[in-house]
């Protein structure tokens, strides 16, 4: 008995020397799939669990949506160039974006913070001011949370509830052959904003040879910084589609890059896709900065991530309704699964789309 308890309670002492499989061998999505494989459904109110932008619950008349995001200092943000107020704003907005991506309306959030000793009350006020600003802007209530000391750095975990009528909810699995593939806004811009900030941080900290360039060259590039530091969720697009009588067949928001996201839709809808390189909406400033930095802007647009634009598919019969809509771009169409998931290049060639996404591991 003694030995058994010893072993079980002190197992942790030796766990670190046990054989282990590196998490990177599965990747982020692989890991989540692995850990959540064959989850049972025990509650009648659970309508959709893991695997979309948000979970869907049936508690009564409307459906309740739920999504969560965890942001860790040094992984998801760098406080050397992200002001705390912006960080708070963004941390809230990325959750709202997930609810809009279900064609729902965000309603409440809880905010959990882990805070190390180097942060003072004023810092948390700044962070909270950003969260509150986002909530005010999107009409969302802060209804709870948890605040704790942390040994290292800042941890932000936000969970968001939303509502939608059953008939309005758009999942990732509804795309079908001949559907149009659309995106809002432009792609790769937030990524170029990050590159700018990162370059200036290195210059500022003297880690490049260009000491004379210490003053950041941000003039005329404010939009790129804004896309990175203070992204917005596309509530306007959701409202525009509704007003235009268009219900997407599948939808998600673009947090990990277009390639990664369209593959999610194709996988869950069991279909293929053709995306046209020359249809990708790219911001002029982003293209100029990419050129300056010797980056391929198409690669950035496909894999950049953090744009929080909406990616959706529509029935071909909605084509006429889509055309006049501002800031929505048709970039391709859904194909049979056996046609694969391809990018049609400017030259007319085909390349398989790859989910580089955003590798958190």
Select from 111-119, 167-175, 296-304, 307-315 the region that touches a second copy (CB under 8 A). 111-119
Name 334's Cβ contacts closer than 8 Å, sequence gap at least 6: 175, 176, 177, 178, 179, 180, 181, 266, 269, 271, 272, 273, 313
Binders of a second copy among residues 229 to 268 (CB under 8 A) are 229
Q: CB 179 → a second copy: shortest distance, Å?
A: 26
Task: Mark 15-34 with x for binding to a second copy (rule: CB under 8 A) and - for no binding.
Answer: xx-xxxxxx-xx-x--xx-x
Which one among 213, 222, 239, 350 touches a second copy, defined by CB under 8 A? Answer: 222
Q: Out of 101, 140, 250, 251, point to the residue binding a second copy (CB under 8 A).
A: 140
> Which positions from 158 through 197 interact with a second copy, judged by CB under 8 A?
159, 161, 163, 197
Q: How many residues does the chain have?
A: 361
Least gap, CB of 94 to a second copy (angstroms): 10
- Provide the minimum distance between the beta carbon of 208 and a second copy in the complex, in angstroms, as a whole number: 16
Interacting span for a second copy (CB under 8 A) from 129-137, 168-176, 257-265, 328-336: 129-137
Residues 326 and 240: beta-carbon distance below 8 Å = yes
Size of the site for a second copy (CB under 8 A): 112
CA pseudo-torsion sign 339, 345, 348, 351: negative
Nearer to a second copy (CB atom), residue 111 or residue 301: 111
What order of strands is seen across the sheet that includes strand 341-344? 250-254, 309-314, 180-184, 328-335, 272-276, 341-344, 350-352
Instruction: Report CA-CA distances (Å) from 265 to 7, 170, 353.
Output: 46, 12, 13
Of 157 and 208, the one with the shorter C-beta distance to a second copy is 157
64 binds a second copy (CB under 8 A): yes
Close Cβ partners of 136 (under 8 Å, ≥ 6 residues apart): none
Binding residues for a second copy restricted to 312-331, rule: CB under 8 A? none
* Phi, psi dihedrals of residue 82, rounded to the nearest 5°: -105, 110
The residue within the footprint of a second copy, chosen from 99, 104, 130, 132 (CB under 8 A), is: 132
Q: Do the Cβ atoms of 181 and 273 come closer than 8 Å? A: yes
Shortest Å, Cβ 289 to a second copy: 15
Nearer to a second copy, 6 or 319 (CB): 6
Kindly report each contact of residues 198-205 with a partner whose C-beta sits within 8 Å and lies 24 or more positions away, as own/partner.
Answer: 198/81, 199/293, 200/81, 201/78, 201/80, 201/81, 205/80
Residue 59 tokens, joined: 């508690």
Task: Please check whether residue 306 is in contact with residue 210, taking contact to mean a CB–CB distance below 8 angstroms.
Answer: no
In the range 31-60, which residues lie near a second copy by CB under 8 A?
A: 31-32, 34-36, 39-43, 45-46, 48-50, 54-55, 57, 59-60
Range in contact with a second copy (rule: CB under 8 A) among 73-81, 179-187, 324-332, 343-351: 73-81
Least Å distance, CB 260 to a second copy, is: 15
Q: Is 133 in the site for a second copy (CB under 8 A)?
A: no
């Amino acid at each position: 008995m003694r030995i058994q308890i010893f072993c079980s309670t002190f197992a942790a002492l030796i766990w670190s020397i046990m054989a282990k499989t590196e998490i990177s061998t599965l990747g982020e999505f692989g890991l989540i799939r692995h850990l959540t494989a064959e989850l049972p459904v025990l509650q009648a109110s659970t309508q959709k669990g893991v695997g979309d932008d948000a979970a869907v619950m049936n508690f009564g008349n409307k459906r309740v949506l739920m999504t969560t995001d965890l942001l860790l200092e040094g992984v998801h943000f760098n406080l050397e160039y992200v002001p705390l107020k912006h960080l708070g704003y963004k941390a809230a907005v990325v959750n709202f974006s997930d609810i809009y991506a279900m064609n729902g309306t965000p309603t409440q959030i809880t905010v959990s913070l882990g805070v190390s000793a180097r942060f003072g009350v004023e810092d948390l006020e700044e962070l909270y001011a950003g969260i509150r600003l986002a909530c005010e802007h999107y009409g969302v209530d802060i209804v709870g949370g948890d605040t704790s000391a942390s040994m290292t750095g800042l941890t932000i975990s936000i969970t968001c509830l939303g509502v939608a009528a059953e008939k309005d909810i758009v999942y990732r699995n509804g795309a079908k052959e001949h559907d149009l593939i659309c995106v809002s806004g432009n792609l790769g811009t937030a990524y170029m904003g990050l590159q700018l900030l990162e370059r200036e941080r290195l210059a500022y900290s003297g880690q490049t040879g260009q000491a004379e360039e210490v003053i950041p060259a941000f003039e005329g590039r404010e939009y790129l910084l804004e896309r990175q530091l203070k992204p917005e969720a596309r509530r306007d697009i959701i409202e525009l589609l509704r007003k235009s009588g268009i219900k997407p067949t599948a939808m998600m928001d673009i947090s990990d890059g277009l390639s990664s996201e369209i593959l999610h839709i194709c996988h869950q809808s069991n279909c293929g896709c053709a995306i046209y390189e020359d249809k990708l909406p790219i911001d002029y400033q982003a293209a100029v900065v990419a050129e300056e930095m010797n980056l391929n802007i198409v690669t950035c647009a496909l894999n950049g991530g953090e744009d929080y634009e909406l990616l959706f598919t529509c029935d071909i019969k909605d084509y006429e309704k889509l055309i006049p809509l501002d800031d929505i771009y048709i970039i391709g169409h859904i194909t049979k699964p056996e046609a694969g998931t391809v990018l049609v290049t400017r030259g007319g060639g085909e390349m398989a789309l790859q989910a580089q996404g955003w590798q958190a591991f």
